[in-house]
Amino acid sequence: MDPSLIAYALQLPDLTTLLTQQKLFDIDGLYRARKHIKRTLSTLLYAELEDIYTHTASAEEYRFDPSEVGRRRLHNTCLDYLTVDGLHPSAVPRAKYQFDSSTCMTDKLAALSCLASIDCSERDDAIETFYRDAGSNALVLNKWFMIQAIADNDNVLARVKELRSHPAFILSNPNRARSLISAFAGNLHHFHRIDGSGYRFLADSILDIDRLNPQVAARMVSSFAQWRTFDATRGEMMRTELRRIEVEKGLSPDTFEVVLRCLK
């Protein structure tokens, strides 16, 4: 079988896809259910996943062709299962070894993504190494910000706030802003924290960006658009942030229009 097809078949639907099956979004329930299934599959199929991971490894020079793309996709899908939540003792060493030994960006990014969701010193080392190696490459730096913003760990919002003050972060740069702020808003479980801190962070960021690039700010408002489909607590908090943006003095017409559309 085509390795790409196998990889896609192994991947669980993301939260965005799962939410479309519900009239009233249960973000916490879906997150827990999806995580339970992923951890269970990782445990029950550990030997098979490890075998496929080993056999899809390659030290050959990077090539971009269908067979190699499929091999890398399946290889990294297995890595994702083998390292989920740092559940298995070999998870961190395996991901760190792939990060250190990878000769192509695809494999290095996959390993960094796995490490970013695990609380360990290897994660911090890999993040620092990737940043140093990126140099001034804007596209690679955008990936660096994004991977940290979509990480599945309880401290992700605190980290995103730190990164907003990072010397390489440029709020006026649309791609850089999207790679951190929009990416975090797409990290659904952590963006929709029940304490509302994710909503406040996004609203604050929208107001800051609106003074620099109204079009980008207006698009970010859409993260609040489905506030009616969440539970009453979250829905009311999102509506409150929309109201706060709406009454901001000097708000651009672009952002104001989207806010009104969301509130109707």
Q: What is the DSSP string of the chain?
A: --HHHHHHHHSPPPHHHHHTT-SS--HHHHHHHHHHHHHHHHHHTHHHHHHHHHHT---SPP--SHHHHHHHHHHHHHHHHHTGGG-STTHHHHHHHHHHH--SHHHHHHHHHHHHTS-SHHHHHHHHHHHHHHTT-HHHHHHHHHHHHT--STTHHHHHHHHHTSTT--TT-HHHHIIIIIHHHT-HHHHT-TTSHHHHHHHHHHHHHHTT-HHHHHHHHGGGTTGGGS-HHHHHHHHHHHHHHHT-TT--HHHHHHHHHHH-
Least confident window among 62-71, 106-115, 149-158, 226-235? 62-71
- What integer is the mean pLDDT of 111-120? 97
Query: Can you list the domains of the chain with their CATH numbers?
Result: 1-134 (1.25.50.10), 137-264 (1.25.50.10)
The pLDDT value given to residue 1: 81
Residue 119 has pLDDT above 90, yes or no: yes
Instruction: Give the pLDDT band (50/70/90) at residue 243.
Output: very high
The residue-averaged pLDDT of 175-197 equals 98
State pLDDT tens for residues 22-50: 999 999 999 999 999 999 999 999 999 99
61 pLDDT band (50/70/90 cuts)?
confident
